[in-house]
Each structure stands twice: as structure tokens, then as C-alpha cells.
Amino acid sequence: MTAGSGPPSGDGLVWRTATELARLLASGELSSVELTGALIERSDAVDPGINAYLHRTDELALEAAGAADARRSRGEAASPFDGVPVAYKDIFVTRGVPTTCGSKILEGWVPPYDATVVERCHGAGLPMLGKTNLDQFAMGSSTENSGFFPSRNPWDTGRVPGGSSGGSAAAVAAGAVPWAWGTDTGGSVRQPGGLCGLVGAKPTYGRISRYGMIAFASSLDQASPLTRSVEDAAALMAIAAGHDPCDSTSIPSPAENYLDGIDGGIEGLRFGIIKEFTGEGSQPGVRARVDDAYTRLEKLGGTLQEVSMPSFQHGIPAYYLIAPAEASSNLARFDGVRYGSRVAGDTNIVTMNSMTRDEGFGAEVKRRIMIGTYALSAGFYDAYYGKAQRVRTLIIQDLRRAYESVDLIVCPTSPTTAFKLGERTDDPLAMYLSDVYTVPFNLSGNPAVSVPCGLSSDDGLPVGLQIVAKTLDEKTMFRAAYAFEKDLGFAGSPEGRPRL
Amino acid sequence: MSTAPSRVIETTIGLEIHVELATSSKMFCGCEVAFAGEPNTRTCPVCLGLPGSLPVVNERALEHTIRIARALNCDVASHSFFARKNYFYPDMPKNYQISQYERPLGAGGVLEITGDFPTRRVGITRVHLEEDTGGSLHVGGSGRIADSEYSLEDFNRAGTPLVEIVTEPDIKSADEARAFVTELRAIVEALGVSDVRMEEGSLRVDANISVRNAGETEHGAKVEVKNMNSIRSVGRALEYEEGRQRAALVSGDMPVQETRHFDEKAGTTSPMRTKEYAFDYRYFPDPDLVPFEPSDTWIASIERAMPELPVHKRSRLAEQYGLRPADIGILTTSTAIAEWFEEAASAYDGPAQKVANWIIADLFGLCNEAGIPLTECKIAPRQLAGLVRLVDSGSISGKQAKQVLGGMFATGDDAALIAEKEGLEQLSDAGELSSVVDEVIAENPDAADKVRAGQMNTVGFLVGRVMRKTKGQANPKLVTDLLTQKLAP
């Protein structure tokens, strides 16, 4: 730690990107213990207002920060980001640290193992600041389905931060942690990223191991970073990406270095605009910002052309059959027998199972278990689950056809800016429609990133632009997002940060 | 059982057999596969179904399943996948079992069985791979889950690879069912893919049995019989159930569709539960696993590495050793027995049937008494051959040989050594015996006269006297020869 040059003060520190912090740590201008201390202080100050965390691990973080500093002083940094703290959505299991998945049914459970994502981040030297709030079992778009409390959007604490990874988004947006992990099953990272003015980046399905990520819908779930810059998203994704023998759906090839050539610009890239996404149901302020973004892409040397995705109109219905069907089976293990909470009836095993699940699961979880159970039932399977899988095939085919003529697809991340707490809790369909632009790319497995494209003139809240790449073409996706972010100049500017 | 003579009643049986594979690790994780042990010591996040854990297929288990499928003449699916079978039970960690539904690894096979019935071709509907559940111990009440005070769960067995084999309803009697299980066990054992120990549950048999009047096209109500823990129980349970259903059919009190539990002690079956509704397992492809496509070259290499199957072994043993068919059946119930026999036969240059006789008539008895399998007895195959040679040479009598075998069984020593130690060597020295024979003739003049007069049946009496004087060590054939010479008319 040098004294003379004057390290950034605690307040300025908390708004830095992970990449900037890594540079400060590398140069010795900053220690990880100092940084971690500042973030703990910031969390103490802001978390009561936003409820981002379910469980904080300050002591563990400081301990890990000390170890990171020691490594750096020996010249043995575990990675360029050694000592930069991170937070995890409480869907990642963490050895010795309570993991609830946002549900009362897992209250008290302390996992005996680490998720692969957690293990790889530990390996890179990232101290863990805590476990963040989410909609129970990642089912929701606002964190209002958390079994504990809703999180709040740092841009307006009367509004939701989005979901299901809303706790991670709120924490990063509020300066409580430089970056955080979420999971994206139907938009659960891109949508809160958009609503909180952050970058939310979902990799190709299978690119990051799902081992140790509590399953909601196994064929859709992907671990995804929430960050303050495109560069950070590429870096955090790269830390966790790559084959994991513990996950059979993990892509066998090694991951690329997403930072490599990220500043290559977008001259000559062809962007597809989806004809069927007419903007109907979108707020004018959102449409205006996204249209501006398209113009900017052209200005930067990209070309725009329309692509047709007739299958996309079936995206939401197909998603709301496939995801609940898988969930109904994935969540069967929460039965009070082996771990988590148990409500012991005085009669028999069936009563104990039922009472535990009745008290432990929230309404949305129960709704989806019912839908999923129904969709898989004998006599209904073909009409529901089977048909939804066929829609999925059509969506993949539509995208494959589109990518014959374009390099990337662009569209809004979400039809609206952050909505008010309670606004949609009684209307599940309205809530489901928050994901209309994100869901198709979970069904298809393509990588997709939400990057801030400014504030809506309607309400002054952030709007996200979604950029979708071909399977395993994360590098082009990040390159475009990076060029757009730099040119817009929103991220890192005072305008790009909430007045919290 | 009393059936009206005018009625011909047919029995229809289909079997569902589970075989636990003896892979070194479990189906979807690295935990060791073994029997029993301290509860919940062979577990990990995967086989405990902890939140976040994911399965990874054990390829060796796929290979073993393909072996079984091919040995049962099944076609191997070129595209196959795992499905989840959803139902709640506390010994099932995920409350779904990873199994197969559509496109099982093997299908459309056939197994021929023989016995005291016309040779029967039994269709094999499917051979699929799944994971085993844990085990429950229901404490209090009747020992079943419904009325127990509490249950203890042991997940050591959870995730053990399990192959399910389902037959067509082609089996027509308890005898045939027993023969089928015997043959299947021999095959699986020969393949070296399972311990096939019914008493330890590594081979489990459930049966569906129904009766109907001959000529009817519809099957009678299907009764599932469970808890048959040995091949003998399979026969007993199905014989009982067949009789019960026949009597019910005759009396007009038609059997109902239900699951019945076989009571080993009583030898009877009793209702477990009546199937009021069919379970809906909501099968769907497991999204945590990827489909697999066994290549033709892989299947071919598995086939090339297949050991000799019992049916082939039987015809070879018949041809090579000229054994009696019934004895071949006995010697091929397990690979280990057949190997033991062949080793003994190769160490012996006379007719192999003699070696077989000793194994079947004597050695099995000793093993049964001691409660050990043949392979664990102290006698090595070549030592048995030595015993037979000793009898052939006339050094000991057949009767003495049985005594020597007992000694060998107890100590593991060679036959000659035991015969010598116990002073059992046969007196085959004509000179030495001659004087004893003379003594006996002198002591039994009446008998000797009778022989001289041509009453040859009295020779036996005199032989007996010589044997008594020599404490059984005289070679009886030599004694007879000497007596007939000396008392020639």
C-alpha cells in the first residue's frame, strides 16, 4: 500500500469495476483487506435499504482477502483478480455456509460441498462477501417470491430490482460488491441487469458447469455474471467457464479467453432485428432507448437487418411448460426427510412430506410444481411437454436460419423498466411477460448479454439492450457489447449509477 | 390341488428381475459399490441427491448392461437415454429414480429354458439400466412403513447400478419360472457383471402370475408376487400362488389384481396392497444427462470379450467329457463350479464322469454341510483327481475313499497323505492276504465247504470275515479272487 499517491477513497472505491480494482491490487495501491473492508462498510450502509443479502460472510471474506494479499505480496497471485470480492446468488451451494435458494424449505441447511462456479472463483482468489437474495428457487422476475423478503432496486427503492437474481443485481448496483453471480433460466440475470443498469451475461448453455447450482429447470439454467462493465462480465465468465466432468451437460471443449480482442470494434458486423418483436406492450421510453441503441450500432459501423422468428410467439407458453415440468421433478427432493426444514405431522410419512412442502414452498413454487406435474402426466405429456419441446426445436431452427445472414441479434432486454413492488404480484401472467424477450434464448441455449443503453425518459430508470450471439460465440457478443458500452459512455459515469 | 377333471387351466407367468451390477463405483458417482457396511458411509452429494448435485454416467455399467442384453439375444438400441421415474419414497434421495423408459438399452430378446417340460422360449421384453434406491428400516409396528413408529434410512445402496430384465408372459409353470431364474443367474454370473446373490438382494425376482381356463383369450387378473429371496422360494411361492388361483377360479371366487407377499416360513402368499389405481410416474428424459448412442464397434468389442455362456458351455462339456446331461446341468449352474470341474477333469486321465460323480455325489454334500461354496473348500481340483486315481489303482477302496475325502475336506491335504496317516491303504499284496484268507478258511469250515460245493453266494460271507480281520483294508476284489482260487471244487 503506497501512501503518497493517495489511494482511492472508500466511497470512490465502491463504484470501481472489478477490472479497475484488479489493477489497483496488482499495482499495490490497494490491498484486498482494505477493499473488502470498504465493501463491508458499504454493505452495512446500504443493505438495510435494499435487502440484497440473505447471508453475509464478512469474516470469511476478510480472511480470504488477507490470504489474497499474502499471495500478492509473494508475487503468487492466484489470478489477475486475486482479492477482488464477489457475491453469489443463494442458489450456489457453498461448503459450510448456509444455502437456502430463497426458500424456507432449505432453512438451516449447510452444504458439505462447493458448486463448481464457487470452487473456480475461490481458486481465482475471489473473497466471498455473501449469499444474495432471489425469488424462491429462481422462480420469479422481481425477488418478491423470496421466502424471506423482497430486495429493492437501488435506483428507486420503491421498485423491484428484477429477478430472480435481484439480490445480486441490487448489491452490484448499490456499490456493495463489484460483481456477483446470478443464474439465468428465462432471463433471471439479463432482466435484473437491465432493470438495475448493469451488464448481465448468459453464456451458451453448457458453457459453465451447473454442478452445485440448485436446479430449477435443468435444461435452461446457466450461471451468469452481473457486473458494472462488459469487460468485467467477460472476465468473470471466463473464470468459471470450461468443461466440468461433474456436469454431463457441460460442453467438453475448453473455454475461450473472452477478453481477447474484446476491443476489436463492430465495423462490418451484421445485426438482426426481430420482426416479431414489434414493441407492442413495451413502454415508449424503453422503445426510444433501444431504437437509439440500434442507431448507435449503425454509427459504429454495424449494419441492421430484419430477421423473422415466427416461432418466438410460442416462447413464453413453451417455457412455462418445460421449466415447470423439470422443476416439478427437481424440487421433489425437498421433502423434509434428509435436510432443510421438516414439519412433522403426528401421523405418517405422507403427511410429513405434505406439511413440510406446504409450509416450506411459496405460492409461485407450488403453482409451478402443479403446472409441471400436470404437463408431465400420462395422457397430457404429448399435448404439453411434448409439444413445448417441439416449439423449442422450432426456435433453434429459426435462430440457426437467422444466423446465416447476421452475426448477432439485438432486441430489448425487457419491455419495461423496473416496476413497483407489489405491482404484479397478483398477476402471474403479467410477471411472466417480463421475460418475453429473454426466454427464447434460454430455450435455444444461445449466449445473450444485457448491456445498459441509458435511462428511460418516462421514469429515469435504466433500460437494457440485449445482444444475442451464435452458440459458443461469446467473443463476438462481448466485442459488440464492449464497443456499444464505450461509445455510449453510460457505464462508469455519474449518470450510470443510482443516487443511493 | 383339486381341479375339476373336465377343466384345463393355464398358468401364465412373467418375471421382472433386477440385477445389481458389481461395478467398482456407483451408477452416477464415484462411491464404492459394496454390500451392507456401516450405514451411510458410502455416500456423497450425488447419491444423496443433495441440492445442486448432478449425475455422471458410469460407462462400465452401460457396458455390463449391453453384455446382459446381448447374452439374452436382445437388440441393443442405437440411440438410448435415461428418464426420470417420479414418485415419493423416503429411501429414494431425489424422489425420482433415474431409469429408462422409452428406448431401453436392450429389447426383443429370447432365452430358451429346458427341464422336465417341453423346451420353452421365453421372450425378453426389455433390458434397461437404472439406479438402485437406499434401504429403509421401519421400526415398530408390523415392520412396514405404514404403521411403523419411525424409519431409518441407509443410502449406501442408493445409486448402485441396477439392470431390470422384463420377460414376456411366456412362462407356464412354477417349474419353468425356477428354470428361467436358474438359467438367467448362470448367464449373469458367467458374464461376471454381478454377484447374483439373491439372499443379499443383488438378484431380485418379482413375478406376475395369472390363471385362466384353456381357450380363453384374455389373461386372468394379474397378481404380483414379491419377497422371493431364493430360487427355491421362487418355485415355492409360484407353486402356492398357482394352486391358490386355480382353486379360486374353480370355486368361482375369481382372483383379483393385487400385490402379494411371499411368507418364507409359512410357504404362503398374503395380500400386500390392492392396486386401486395405476401409478403415474411422469417419465420424461432426464435433462441432467445426455442421450447416448452405443456404436456398432463398441457393441462388437463387448461381444468379442464375452465369456462362454452356459448354453455353449453345456454343449461343450457334453462333447468334450461325455457327461450325463443331468450332471452337466448341475455343473454349469455357476461358472466357478464348471471351472472347478474342468480343472479336476484335466488333472485326471480317466473318464471325466468319475470326477463329476465325486463332485456331485460327495463333495457338494460336504460343502452344503459346511455352508460354503465349492470354490471355498480346502480341496483343490487336482487333489480330487488324485483321490480318484488312488481308487483306480486299488490302493484304497471306494468306501475308504469317502473317508479320505472327508479328511481332505477338513485339512486340505492330499488323498495319499490322508490314506497313509489314517492307515487306510488297501491291502493289495496277494502274499500278505493269502495267509489271512487261509486263516479264515480254517476258522469257517462249514462255509468253506459250501463254497467248494458251488454255493458261490457264501463267498461274500468269507470276504466279510477277511475284511473284518484286516480292519477293512483288504482289497475286496483280490480277496474274492483268492477265495475262489483256494476253494475251487
Considering the entire predicted model, what is its pTM? 0.89
Residue A192 C-alpha cell reads as 435484473
B49-63 per-position pLDDT tens digit: 999 999 999 999 999
- Block means of pLDDT (10 residues each) for chain A, 500 residues, are 45 91 97 98 97 98 98 97 98 98 97 98 98 98 97 98 97 98 98 98 98 98 98 98 97 95 97 92 95 98 97 95 98 96 83 95 97 94 95 98 98 97 88 91 98 97 98 98 97 90
Beta bridge partners of residue A88, listed in sequence order = A131, A181
Residue B20: its pLDDT value, please?
Answer: 97
CA pseudo-torsion sign A152, A458, A439, A238 = negative
Chain B residues close to A338, C-beta within 8 Å: 48-49, 93, 153
Please tell me which of the candidates B93, B284, B287 has its beta carbon nearest to residue A333: B93
Domain boundaries, chain A: 19-316+386-495, 317-385
Q: Rounded to an integer, what distance in angstroms lies between the CA atom of residue B138 and that of residue A163?
A: 43
DSSP state of A191: H
User: What is the complex's ipTM, to 2 decimals?
Assistant: 0.95
Helix A32-50 crosses helix A18-27 at what angle (to 10 degrees)?
Answer: 150
DSSP state of A187: S
Q: Which of B43, B48, B50 is the mutation pick for testing A, counting most A CBs within 10 A?
A: B50
B258-275 per-position pLDDT tens digit: 999 999 999 999 998 655
Q: According to DSSP H, which parts of A196-281 are helical?
A: 230-240
- Catalytic positions of A are 89, 164, 188
Q: Rounded to an integer, what distance in angstroms lies between the CA atom of residue A484 and that of residue A465?
A: 10
- Closest-CA distance of chain A to residue B155, Å: 11
Q: What percent of chain B has pLDDT over 70?
A: 97
DSSP characters over A80-101: TTTT--EEEETTB-BTTB---T
DSSP characters over A354-393: HHHHHHHS-HHHHHHHHHHHHHHSTTTTIIIIIHHHHHHH
**Cross-chain Cβ contact B50/A385 below 8 Å:** no
Between B325 and B110, whose confidence is greater? B110
Q: What is the mean pLDDT of chain B?
A: 91
- Nearest Cα residue in chain B from A93: B52
Q: Rounded to an integer, what distance in angstroms lies between the CA atom of residue A123 and that of residue B370?
A: 58
- Nearest Cα residue in chain B from A100: B51
Residue A430: its pLDDT value, please?
Answer: 83
Helix B174-191 crosses helix B335-346 at what angle (to 10 degrees)?
Answer: 70
Count of residues for chain B? 489
- Is CATH 1.10.10.410 the classification given to domain B430-486? yes
Smallest CA-to-CA distance from A187 within A216, A207, A214 is with A216
DSSP state of A248: T
pLDDT at B2 over 60: no
Please tell me which of the candidates B48, B90, B287 has its beta carbon nearest to residue A326: B287
Chain B residues close to A329, C-beta within 8 Å: 84, 86, 96, 282, 284
Q: Which pairing describes strands A86-89 and A128-132: parallel, antiparallel, or unpaired?
A: parallel
| CB atoms inside a 10 Å sphere around CB B168 | 17
Residue A42 C-alpha cell reads as 458499504
Segment B456-460 shows an average pLDDT of 85
Smallest CA-to-CA distance from B178 within B120, B139, B108, B105 is with B120
**Cross-chain Cβ contact A332/B88 below 8 Å:** yes
pLDDT at B277 over 60: no
CA pseudo-torsion sign A382, A470, A445, A139 = negative
Q: Rounded to an integer, what distance in angstroms lies between the CA atom of residue A96 and that of residue B127?
A: 42
Chain A residues close to B151, C-beta within 8 Å: 349
Q: Which listed CATH number (3.40.309.10, 3.40.50.720, 3.40.50.300, 3.90.1300.10) goes with A19-316+386-495? A: 3.90.1300.10
Q: How many CB pairs under 8 A join A and B?
A: 101
Q: Which pairing describes strands A448-455 and A303-307: parallel, antiparallel, or unpaired?
A: unpaired
Counting beta carbons within 10 angstroms of the beta carbon of residue A456, is it exposed (0 to 12), middle (13 to 18) or buried (19 or more)? buried
Tell me where in chain B the CATH 1.10.10.410 domain(s) lie. 430-486
Counting beta carbons within 10 angstroms of the beta carbon of residue A201, is it exposed (0 to 12), middle (13 to 18) or buried (19 or more)? buried
pLDDT at B190 over 90: yes
**Cross-chain Cβ contact A333/B51 below 8 Å:** yes
Q: Rounded to an integer, what distance in angstroms lies between the CA atom of residue B361 and that of residue B364?
A: 7
3-state secondary structure labels for all residues of A25-66: HHHCCCCHHHHHHHHHHHHHHHHHHHCCEEEECHHHHHHHHH
**Cross-chain Cβ contact A115/B52 below 8 Å:** yes
Q: Which pairing describes strands A408-412 and A270-274: parallel, antiparallel, or unpaired?
A: parallel
**Cross-chain Cβ contact B50/A99 below 8 Å:** no
Q: Is residue B127 within 8 Å of residue B17, measured between CB atoms?
A: no
Read off the amino acid at residue B206.
D
CA pseudo-torsion sign A52, A57, A58, A63 = negative
Residue A477: its pLDDT value, please?
Answer: 98
Residue B64 C-alpha cell reads as 455390463
Q: Rounded to an integer, what distance in angstroms lies between the CA atom of residue A408 and that of residue B104?
A: 41
Beta bridge partners of residue A468, listed in sequence order = A409, A448
Smallest CA-to-CA distance from B95 within B127, B49, B60 is with B49
First CA to last CA distance, chain A: 29
Look at the block and give the residue holding cell 431425489. B94
